[in-house]
Structure 1
C-alpha cells in the first residue's frame, strides 16, 4: 500500500513496484499530495499503464531492442530501416523517451520540416509512432507521435481523403488499348497477356510475377505465392496478409495464358530469395520484371502517351509510324517541341528517315535508315546494321507518316488495373463475398465467418467477364479491324471491325 514519509521540509511518496521493490518520488509539499501520487502509481500498475520512474532509455537504445524483435515482410522491414536511419535517429536518436513524451510538439515540427514529400513525411512519423507504441507502458505512458483526432486543418484532411478516393483506374476498353500499346512497345505478345491478366483477375503486381505453370489450371488461377522486388533482388513469399485464394478464370483468359511459354528465371538466391524456377511472366532474357523498368519502358508511355523524363533526358512524346494503321508502331523517341522555338528533328547517319530534311539526305528503301544522296538524287552503297547495304542507284523512299499517341489514362499504374477490376464486378452484380475472395480481402465480423462463395456466384462472374471482354474487343474493332499485335489481330477477326 502506498504511503508518505517526511524528508526534511518535504514529503516522499513510496509504493511497491511490479518487481517487488519499493519505488519512490520526492519533492511533495504536503503529505496528501505524496499519498495521492503513490496511489496513482498503484492504480497504473493494476491498469498495466505503469511507467517505472527509474527507467531511462534513449530512442537509439530502444530502436536497437525493438527492431530485431519484429517479424514482418522483408519489404516492410526495409521501409522501417530507411525511415529510422535517414529521418528519425538523426533528429531524435539522443533523446530520452521521456523527453519525447513531454515534447510532442517537437515531433510535429520535425514532420513539417522534413525535406521530403508530404506523404513520405507522414510515413516517417507513422514509423516513429509504431516504434514508440511498443515502449508503452514500461518507458512511456502515452505515445507522443500518435496523431490526435480532431487536430489539424480540416481542409487538409479533406484534400487527402479526396486524393485517396481519386485513384485512377481503367475500363475494359482502356485496359485492352493499354495492353496493345505495351505489346507494341515491347515487341512481344507477352506484355499484352500480362496486362489483360491483371485487369481481369485483380491480382497484385507481385502475385502476377509469382505465377508459375502449376498455378494455372483450366478455369482457375491459384494465387499462392508472390515475388517482391527488394534492392534489385526478388524474394518469394505468401500473398499480402496471407491472402492465398483461387481466382476463377474465364475461357478467354485460359486461352491467352495457354499461349504463354514458361521460362526459367536465372535467380540463384537462398532462403526466401528466389532460387530459380519456371514462371509465366519473365523478360526476354529470363529475368523478372522490375516494376520501375516496366513502368518507364512500357506502362507509362502506353498510359500517358509520353516517355517519362529522367535526370539525363527530358520527357518525350511517343512517336508512332501509322503507315501500317491504328494505333501505329513506335519509332525511336524524338525530343518534344518547345513553344516559340523552331523544331529540329534528329539528323545524321543512322537516324530513321521520318520527315523530309531537304539537306541532301534520304531514307533508304532497303535498310530504312537516313543516308546521304548522290548528286542525281539516288542512294549510294553504305554501311548498315548487320553489314553492307547495296542501296546504290535507288531513289529515296517516301517519308514515314508520323503521329503521337494521345493520353489513354493519365496517371494509371499497374495497381490501377486492380482498382478497375472492382467496378467490373460491381457492375456485373457479383456478390460481395466472392469479390472479397477474388481481391484477397477478408470479410469482417460474423458475416465473414459464415459467408462462403457459392457456385452460383462464380457462374455470375464467369458469365460477366467474357461479356465485358467481347464488348471491349468489339469497340476496339470499331476503331480498326486489324492490329499490329499478333494475338490481338487474331482475336479481332470474328468482329470484322463492326460493333456488335
Structure 2
C-alpha cells in the first residue's frame, strides 16, 4: 500500500494503480466495506479521486459500485412493484414498460443510461411510434423510472425537460375537432339503433348529455341508473352513509327530485375477461340528466332485464364485445344494406355516414358535451366536476356543486333538445 489516510488507500498493480475507499457500510462480520476504482497512471490523481468519493459519501450523493451496476431490468421491476396507481394507469404503464422500455435497455445498467443513451432512446421511440402522443407517454414513464433512480443508483437523472438541443421540432398539433351539432348526435343515435337496437339509441344520447367516458357507459349497471337510483344503491361503503342519505333527498323520480345517473365504475379488459374497476382517476360522481333522457332511460330499463343498462347485441357487456371494431365504425362511417342469407345475421338497412364523426373516436362526444356546457355558461367548477376532473387550488377546495347549478345544467340540455325537436317538426 503506497498511501493511506482517512480510509483511502492507493496501491499499484502492474503499470497502473488502484484507489480504495470506505463505502460507509460494514460487512456482516463487522469489517468495513470498501469500494475501488483502478486504471490510474498517477498516484495523486487516484488518491484525490478516493477523497472525492469519501466527500460524496458524507454529503449523501455518492453512488456505490454495487448500486451503480444494478441492471435496468432489475430496477424497472423494483420501481414498478413499488408504484401505486389506479387500474387503468397501472395497466398502461405495464404495457409501455414490457413493450418498449424493458426490451431496449435489457443488459444495460442504470449507470449506463446517461444523457446520450436517453436521447438515443427518445429518437428510437419517436421513429418507432407514429403517434407523437404515444411516444411522449413512453418517455414520461421512462422519465419517472430514471428520476426515481437518483441519487441512489445514479447521481443525477439524465432526463431532459427544459433545455432544447438539436433541430427545432414544432409542437404536436392538437386533434382537429368540429363543433358538435345535435343533428350529428341524432344521426349517430339512429345509426346505433340500427346496429344494436334501442340500447344503442339511448347510449349515444346519454353520452352526449352526460359526457360519460365509454368505459363508464359500458359498465353502467341498472342499480346506478334512473329511475332505480338512488333507492337501489347497494351502499357498499359505510363511510359514505351521509352521502347516501343526501342522494335520496336530492335525486330520483318524484316531485322536486332530479333524475340522475351515478358513475360508480367502468369496465376494462383484464386477461381476456371483463373487469369492473373504479372510474378513471377515481372520479365517482352523480350526473343529473334532462327530462327527455330520463324518459328514454326509464323506457330502456323497462324493455330488458339485463345487468347492464346498455347491453350488447347478445345481451352481454359492450366492454367485451369489440365495440370499437364491430359497432362504432358502422355507427360513425355508415354501412351498406345487408340482406339475410340462409344461416347468416339478420337483415339491416343501409346506415348513412355521419361526416363529423366518420373516422373519429367516440370519445369526441364527451369532448362535445363539455363544449355544450361551456357554451351555455355554466360554473367552471360544476362543469369540471361533471366531467370527472379535479379542480386545483382554492376554487377546488371551497367550491361545491349546488342544486341550482345542477338544475341549470338540466334546463340547458333540455332546451337544446327541445329546440332541435322544434326545428325538426318545422322541416317536416
Match of 1:300 among 322, 326, 329: 329
Match of 1:259 among 284, 289, 299: 299
Runs of 4+ in structure 1 displaced over 6 angstroms? none
Shift, 1:53, TM fit: 2.7
Q: Which runs of 5+ in 2 are unaligned?
A: 230-251, 253-258
Q: Does 1:196 find its partner at 2:244?
A: no
Q: Which has the higher helix share?
A: 2
Match of 1:38 among 33, 45, 54: 54
Asked whether the equivalents of residues 190 and 281 of structure 1 are also in contact (C-alpha less than 8 Å), the reply is yes
Q: Does 1:246 find its partner at 2:286?
A: yes
In the TM superposition, 1:16-415 aligns within 5 A as: 17=24, 23-26=34-37, 27=40, 29-30=44-45, 34-43=50-59, 45=60, 49-55=61-67, 56-101=69-114, 103-114=117-128, 117-144=131-158, 147=161, 149-151=163-165, 153-157=167-171, 160=172, 162-164=173-175, 166-167=176-177, 170-186=180-196, 188-216=197-225, 217=229, 218=252, 219-261=259-301, 278-290=307-319, 293-305=322-334, 318-319=335-336, 331-332=337-338, 405=353, 407-415=355-363
1:246-266 deviations in Å (ceiling 9; x for gaps):
11122111111101137566x
416-425 vs 120-129, greater mean Cα deviation: 120-129
1:440-461 deviations in Å (ceiling 9; x for gaps):
1111012211111222222221
Asked whether the equivalents of residues 264 and 286 of structure 1 are also in contact (C-alpha less than 8 Å), the reply is no
TM-score scaled by structure 2? 0.75
Shift, 1:12, TM fit: 4.3
| 1:465–1:69 CA distance, 2 compared to 1 (3 A) | same
Number of the residue aligned with 2:236: none
Number of the residue aligned with 1:356: none
Shift, 1:38, TM fit: 2.9
Q: Which runs of 5+ in 1 are unaligned?
A: 266-277, 306-317, 320-330, 333-350, 353-368, 370-383, 387-400, 480-496
**Helix, strand or coil: the match of 2:287?**
strand
Shift, 1:184, TM fit: 2.3
Number of the residue aligned with 1:311: none
Shift, 1:7, TM fit: 4.1
**Number of residues of Structure 1 aligned to a counterpart in Structure 2:** 374
What CA distance in whole angstroms lies between the structure 1 residues aligned with 2:76 and 2:275? 25
What CA distance in whole angstroms lies between the structure 1 residues aligned with 2:9 and 2:167? 49
| 1:132–1:421 CA distance, 2 compared to 1 (3 A) | same
| 1:406–1:258 CA distance, 2 compared to 1 (3 A) | closer
| 1:385–1:203 CA distance, 2 compared to 1 (3 A) | closer
1:72-94 deviations in Å (ceiling 9; x for gaps):
34444443343333333333211
What CA distance in whole angstroms lies between the structure 2 residues aligned with 1:451 and 1:19? 56
Shift, 1:439, TM fit: 0.6
Asked whether the equivalents of residues 274 and 319 of structure 2 are also in contact (C-alpha less than 8 Å), the reply is no
Asked whether the equivalents of residues 22 and 35 of structure 2 are also in contact (C-alpha less than 8 Å), the reply is yes
TM-score scaled by structure 1? 0.65
| 1:236–1:78 CA distance, 2 compared to 1 (3 A) | same
| 1:53–1:150 CA distance, 2 compared to 1 (3 A) | same
Number of the residue aligned with 1:444: 392
What CA distance in whole angstroms lies between the structure 2 residues aligned with 1:264 and 1:149? 59
| 1:169–1:50 CA distance, 2 compared to 1 (3 A) | farther
